[in-house]
Structure 1
Amino acid sequence: MYLADAVKLKSILRKQLEQLVEEVDRIAFVDLEKGEALPTAQERTLPDVESAMDEVRRDMRTLDRLVYAANLSTMIETTEGEMPLVEAIELATQLRAKATQFQELAARPKREFQYGFEGTTVIRHALYDPDAYRIKAQEIERSAHRISNAINAANYRTEIDFDGTRYM
């Protein structure tokens, strides 16, 4: 299975576990009027659902371990050199945050009139060039996109040893 599919499968497993938890709530109790007899049989018993939950949880742990190992062992090339996927993912996240901050600085005017107390006028001066930060933000964002593209490509060429056919 490709690493990209494993990431999707993790989401599927979380959803399946949530559904099993809901099923426990549905089958663990029955509301009856006083004197009414308990039903004789259920389609699935509480132990059946608990067993299914244990299996999904075991698969989730195995999948997590394999994904984490692949994220550490798979290397990609970045402008900062070769690094494991896990580090590249964090770098892309950091670059996006930096680009957002620079975009906010770029959106501010070079001079901004503010109103002070008792009719005084205060002028806030930017101690930087907003247009230069706009350009920096674009460059950083492009770098984050390149890293994200390399991560996606690595996710589709990296395989892990997990059979997800039961879920996908």
Structure 2
Amino acid sequence: MSNLSLAEAVKLKSVLAKRIQELEEEMYRVSYVEIEKGAKVPKQARTLSMVEQEIDEIRSDFRLLDKLMYRANIENEIDFNGEALTIVEAIELATQLRAKARKFKDFGAASKEELTYSFGEGNPLVRLAMFEPEEYRLKALELERQANRLSNAINSKNYAVELDFDSEKYF
């Protein structure tokens, strides 16, 4: 039995999910036939029970792979900015850094001052930014760099971690 890297497991999980979906569709195709009343039922290459058996085997492998991946994501760590993070924490931190960078980009693209139009006869209104847009633009760039560094570390770790899973029947 060959081992599988965590990175390959992510891809395999997607392959298995797609295969399950295909088999569910096949279940409908093989479960009914339309024939004229009294005509002989045509021979099918695969029966509903054959498809059921295959889908059950793949679902079992999917659950095992999922368990191994969750375990690996909790048991293995990445060093980021002098802090040890489990892979699952690192994935979440990368997601949060990217979300924060998107928000900061919005602030970085804002004008420091802009005239707003009012519908009355009063004085014109001015919208003032209570922050420095350029500072937020620079902060967004730094957050993106950190998220990219962290993502690279996650990917590197995903290729280094081996799972005890036989993928030969799928790859």
Corresponding pairs, count: 167
- Alignment equivalent of 1:31, drawn from 31, 34, 45: 34
Q: Please give the alpha-carbon distance, in whole angstroms, between the structure 2 residues aligned to 1:89 and 1:143.
A: 12
- Structure 1: unaligned runs, 5 residues or longer: none
Letter in 1 for 2:143: I
The 5 Å alignment of 1:54-73 reads 54-73=56-75
The residue matched to 1:156 in structure 2 has which SS? helix
State the TM-score, normalizing by the size of structure 1: 0.97
Matched residue, 1:13: 16
Q: Please give the alpha-carbon distance, in whole angstroms, between the structure 1 residues aligned to 2:169 and 2:134.
A: 54
Matched residue, 2:80: 78
The residue matched to 1:150 in structure 2 has which SS? helix
Letter in 2 for 1:155: N
Matched residue, 2:137: 134
- Percent identical among aligned pairs is 49
- Alignment equivalent of 1:147, drawn from 145, 150, 168: 150
- Structure 2: unaligned runs, 5 residues or longer: none
> What is the root-mean-square deviation of aligned Cα atoms in Å?
1.0
Matched residue, 1:125: 128
The residue matched to 1:147 in structure 2 has which SS? helix
Q: Please give the alpha-carbon distance, in whole angstroms, between the structure 1 residues aligned to 2:114 and 2:57.
A: 61
Letter in 2 for 1:72: I
State the TM-score, normalizing by the size of structure 2: 0.95
Letter in 1 for 2:16: L
Matched residue, 2:49: 47
Q: CA deviation at 1:80?
A: 5.8
